[in-house]
Every structure is written in C-alpha cells, then in structure tokens.
Amino acid sequence: MKLDQNILEQLKNVFAPLNGEIALIYDESSHADQEDLIGLLQDVASTHPQIKTQSSGQKTTTPPSFKIHYNGNPNGIIFRGIPGGHEFSSLVLAILNSDKKGKLPDDFLIKRIQKLKGPIHVRTYMSLDCENCPDVVQQLNQITILHGNFKHEIIDGAHHQEEIQKYNIQGVPCVMTNDQLIHSGRIQLLDLLTKLEDTFGVDKTKASSQEKKNIGHFDVVVIGGGPAGSSAAIYSVRKGLSTAIITEKIGGQVQETKGIENLIGTIYTEGPALSDALQKHISSYPVQILENRRVFNLRKENHKIHMELESGETLTAQATIIATGAKWRELGIHGEKEYIGRGVAFCPHCDGPFYKNKKVAVIGGGNSGVEAAIDLAGVVKEVILFEYNDTLKADAVLVKKLKSLSNVSVITSAATKEILGDGQKVTTLQYLDRKTEKKIDVPLDGVFVQIGLVPNTQFLKDTLKLSKFGEIITDEKGRTSVPGIYAAGDVTTTPYKQIIIAMGEGAKTALAAYEDQFIKGT
C-alpha cells in the first residue's frame, strides 16, 4: 500500500511539530499483505526524520501487525492489520498524540483517565469501511497514551475472522477485554471512560475523580455545543460578554449526521465537517470551552445561576442558555446502533434524499412517522410504515394523505425485532406479526426510526417547567420559567427540529439574554 504524493505532502505539514522519536515496529510476517504494511509505514516515515520503521525480529505467519514506540518505549498502541481507509487518520493521530502534539483533553479529564486502575488491556475490533470506528479507536488510543499502563490492540476484523466468529461479533466498533464485551457502536468519550471505570475500577490510592474546583463566574454560560449552543455562545461573546460553553462534544447530535443538504448557503456538508467548523468558529473568540462535561445540577440562588458538573467542577453565571438538544428515541433492537448512518436513520428531511429510488421502512405510526412516510414517498421508490398497535395513531388528515399514496403500504400489529445487514449496509428488517406470532423478514435498503424524540432535560426536572414530552417551555425569546435561564434549539418546545432553525434560535436567545440581563437589567 503506497500513499500518493498529495497525502505525503500533507503529512509533512501535519508532522512538522514532532520532537520526540517515533518508531513503527512491525513483525516479520509471511502473510501476503505484509509488503503492503511495510510500504505504508515506510511512506509515513518518509515524511519526518523523527519517524522510523524497523522490524521487531519476530517471525510469524499471522496477518500484518505493528506497534508504536515513543522515545524508545512502547506507548501501548498495537495495530493488528493495515490502517488504511478510515483508520489511516487513527495512525496519524496516534503518532501526533504520542508526542503530545495532537488535541488532548484538558487537565481535569487527563487526571480522571490516569486514575483508571491498571494494568488494562482492551481490544477494538473494527472495519476499514466503518465510519464510526475511528472515533472509538482514537479515543482509546488517546486514553492509552495518557494512562501509561494501558494496552490497546486495534484489530481489523477482515484479517481476523476466527476471532470475529469466536466472539460472535456482529457489529463494529466492538471493544473487548478478555472475553468480556465492554461496548459496541459509537460512543462519546465521557461514556466510554465511565464504562472503563466500571470495568476496571479506579485506583483509590490516587485522589478522587470528584475533585472540587470552582471555575469562576461568567456573564453567560451556554450548556450544549450543538448548532443552537454554538450560535448562542458566538452571539454572546460578540456582545462583549464573558462566555463559557459546557458540552460533551462540540457539534452534539450533528456529529452523527452523514449528509446535510438543507443548510442554506451550503450545498452539501457532513456532520463531522460542520462540527469542526463550529469548533473553529467558537475557538476564534475568547470563549472558555469546557468539553467532555455534563451538568447534573442547575439552580438559581442569590441572583446567580449555579451549575455543578459531574466532574466536580462548579461555576456561576448571570445568564444561562440551555441548548442540550434532543436525541432520537431508539427502538433498542439488535442492528439499530450498528447501522446508524449505514441504513438506519432518524431524520427523513436530512437523509431521505440518499435513498432515492430505494425501498425503506418507517417505524412509528404517530404524526412524526406518518409525516416521514409522506415526505419519503416523494423521494424513494417504496415506503413501508410499521406500527406496533392495531391502528395508526396519527391525525386523520395525515392518515388520509398517507393512504392516497401509491408507493406506501402500512403494516400494523408489527413489533420490530431486528435490523439485519451485510456488515456495510442494512439489507433486511425483521418484525413479529403480533396477531399470528410469526417472524417475517422484509428486504429493504433503509430504516427510518420515528418513535419520537427524547429531550436532554433529565437534570432540569426540578428546576424548570417542562412540557409533557420533557421539552423546556419557552416564550418567543427563549425565556424559561426561571428568570435568567434561557433555552434554545431542539431541547425546547420550538417546532421543527432542524439545524438551521436551532442556529437561529440560539442567536435569538443570546440576544434576548443580553437585552434582559445587561441592558434592561431584568
């Protein structure tokens, strides 16, 4: 495997800051793909004098593998396979992070990582075609480097089918230790770290991860880093207000969106690219970004908004804007998480055009499900709507419209049981006919889950007035039931959950907070 000249030139710029010595050490395998691995590693090494390749001297017949040493010592990262495709970025970041030149977590999160009780050895089974795998691989690589007593093997399932069969792995990324499954599918760093703590424990000889730290007081604190939160933070800081943003990850749910074609002024982009753009835009202003954080307690006291984070940190603000968004309610069946973005979708407006002339299913017979089926019918070849109950729950006018469409059929009394695929994309939906108790397989190309949204308001139940659906009730300017606390985007009762609407709501709410709290003084 050889890299083209354009990539080599890019790597020279990326690796330019390296100071320490990186050694890519490979075993001497007789496997047919060994030369491809050596060619890739030598090309990478050619881009910087501090990167070397060398043989371990160990002869083997197993598939190609190599490990990374930094300044003469193993850093704990082992690739069992050739990191091409989506995983090439994992190799690049592993080299940068070894020399502390990549984007690392802040000190508070690093301390939490270092408190994991070692020694720890995990394996991540991945596919080079998997778009979700690099996120998990890169998170674990970063933890490995920062921890110091952690070993992480990245295993290409295509080269190690015997292990895939042994552990009955049916979805990637799949994280294991010994014979124990730790996690399968996409996951945020905070949740992954929590799972590692639950699995391996925390070293009690070190200080508690719940160290208390007061970050200080701000004019405005935005909770949530998606389109609404990013917009609110930018508009706040542009008004000259000291601003902080608390988020698990900049971009929020947008990170999981593959194609975006309805962001006005941008013909096409993808979720990760838009998230990167939001990060760069926020970072161009003096906003304090508290990433990999969650708020668990929020209250108003002595004319200030007090926030407590799960990390143990606290801070206060004159005004707080909540933009924690919502997550799609999931079916909770096998194959759903594994095929998100590869046949499983939640937004017909965003993802419908990718299924032109294809056959899809819509799960859910309420208003959102029927509306989705109607919308999709104008794009796709065929729509089958599945409803658990005996009749559709949607408004009569919507049901009448649905039944008028020639390329839509409805199956009621259907309990969806499993989403099947070929490893790359969805191929089949299996459901249980609740009247006959028979399981039926339906071949198709995509499954749109439309059983409702779940707003991320669990930490606000005793603080703000919420709708019966758990959304924050706001007025036309984003004000909530508590003066000084505002909300914007999908977490609110604002209709239509769209990126462009969330951005506008974030801007509007920030302007309202500025006017109320710093101009009128209300």
Residues with a catalytic annotation lie at 347, 350-351
Entry field: residues in the chain? 522
Instruction: Output the six-digit token pair for 289.
Output: 């970004």
Amino acid at 421: G
DSSP state of 515: I
**Residue 307: beta bridge partners?**
298, 315
The Cβ of residue 475 has, within 10 Å, a number of other Cβ atoms equal to 11
Cα–Cα dist 31/371, whole Å? 53
Cα–Cα dist 321/314, whole Å? 16
Distances (CA, A) of 365 to 181, 339, 444: 35, 22, 19
DSSP state of 450: -
Angle, vertex CA 275, rays to CA 271 and CA 279, nearest 5? 175
Distances (CA, A) of 325 to 245, 321, 444, 484: 14, 12, 31, 19
Cα–Cα dist 135/87, whole Å? 9
Enumerate residues 6+ apart whose C-beta is below 8 A from 94: 68, 75, 77, 138, 141, 145
